[in-house]
Amino acid sequence: MLLQALHLPRIGRVNRSCLILLLVLAIFFASTFTSEEDMVDKIYREPQKISVLFNERKLSCFGRYAFYIPKISQIVWGATSFPSRISVISSSRSTMEQLVLEDVARIRRANDTAEVIFSGPGRDGLGWRLDYYEDKYAKRDGALYSRSYIELGNNIFLLSAAKAKSESEVLFLERQFRRAKSIVLADHDIHADPGFCVEHGFIRQNTYDHQEIVAIGLHLPSYPDVKFSITSNKDAYADYSPEEFDGRIREELSLLSRIKHAKDEQGSNYPARVVLREGPRNVNHWKGEESLIRRADGTHDFEWAYVGRPGDVAYPPEFSVQMFTKVANNMIGAAEKASLTDDEAVALWDKLLSSLKFRVKVPGAPEGSYYFLPGEKTDRGAKP
């Protein structure tokens, strides 16, 4: 019947039997094996725990960067400089007057020769300004410090900076004023203007010749033992000449080189570990390196590092990401056990890292390395 249905010509009995066997085998294997795409899908399926975590997500920005995080997660801010050091205090905890008085008392306690030369309303009534010398030697050298206190909404933004030797006091204070004036509240909005995302705010600026440092962590309420962090420093190692940096320093900073050096140096004392993945890893246009390991105690210890060029905003010389599991009380390995399996930890790592881009295009950034063009509307639904 099968041969009749296929309209096959009449053939010998033996050949007919062989053909029937071949057809049966073909049908069997066709039902057993899937397409290449389906096989790849079977080889890797995102763990359900991670898929559920990202059912709802949001685009969050820090410094000049942005990435997608679970909607329930929170950014935890670390050191931020642009180039003034920036910190944010809730005005529900302290008033501006209290902060200024506490800072003046702290400055004077630190050194008997410290001198506050100005404490009063900022220019054009913009917040409060505190100018001081840390000690008599700072005064002798003209090392003036200035702090600006800007109250916006329920937050007080504190900008701290030191005068460079090469600039005048007038230019230094003008620079501080411009930065203080450029801060706007941005608790939920993603801006498409050139500038720098800070805690609860945004600083508009379209120049790229100053120091830029940003460090953040990610808090996942569902998995409190997981700690994920990112740091970037645009002007790290700027004291080295390009020749010395490329000829010696770059190799020393390489993540894989540092691991190899530690192995060679420690020999049999090098800690036991299970390597989940280790080698080159490109994140967007940053051609970095990663090491994903599980320590003997079950702690996941993941790191990605990129070494760019000092002063290059599109290719920063110091750019790294880390993730640990089994963290408790800010101590790695202190939790009873990791809340994620190997597959789940790697999936979370890849999910977060794959969406890391510039928020807005910066000079030298290739196409696709940013979410928005300068001035573009940000309600179009940015895609990783």
**Confidence check: pLDDT of 286 > 80:** yes
- Ranges of each domain in the chain: 47-82+211-363, 85-182
What's 47-82+211-363's CATH class?
Answer: alpha beta
Comparing 24 with 351, the larger pLDDT belongs to: 351
Q: Do domains 47-82+211-363 and 85-182 have the same CATH topology?
A: no
pLDDT digits (tens, 9 = 90+) for 241-251: 999 999 999 99
Taking the C-alpha atoms of residue 251 and residue 107, their distance in angstroms, rounded to an integer, is: 41
**Confidence check: pLDDT of 3 > 70:** no
Res 26: pLDDT: 46
Res 16: pLDDT: 52
Q: Which of 310, 291, 292 shows the shortest CA–CA distance to 300?
A: 292
Res 384: pLDDT: 58
* Contact (Cβ atoms closer than 8 angstroms) between residue 383 and residue 221: no
Within 10 Å of residue 143's Cβ, how many Cβ atoms?
A: 15
H-helix or E-strand spanning residue 283: strand 273-283
- Using DSSP's 3-state secondary structure scheme, residue 6 falls into coil
CA angle (41, 44, 50) in 5-degree steps: 115
Task: Supply 54's token pair.
Answer: 């990202």
Distance in angstroms between the alpha carbons of the first and the last residue of the chain: 55
The Cα-based distances of 288 to 119, 260, 284, 285, 318 in angstroms read 46, 16, 10, 9, 11
Res 383: pLDDT: 55
Taking the C-alpha atoms of residue 25 and residue 366, their distance in angstroms, rounded to an integer, is: 52
Taking the C-alpha atoms of residue 299 and residue 49, their distance in angstroms, rounded to an integer, is: 18
Tell me the CATH number for domain 85-182: 3.30.310
pLDDT band at residue 91 using 50, 70 and 90 as cut-offs: confident
Res 265: pLDDT: 95
pLDDT digits (tens, 9 = 90+) for 172-197: 999 999 999 999 988 777 889 999 99
Res 101: pLDDT: 95
pLDDT band at residue 1 using 50, 70 and 90 as cut-offs: very low
pLDDT digits (tens, 9 = 90+) for 252-270: 999 999 999 999 999 999 9
Res 92: pLDDT: 75
Res 343: pLDDT: 97
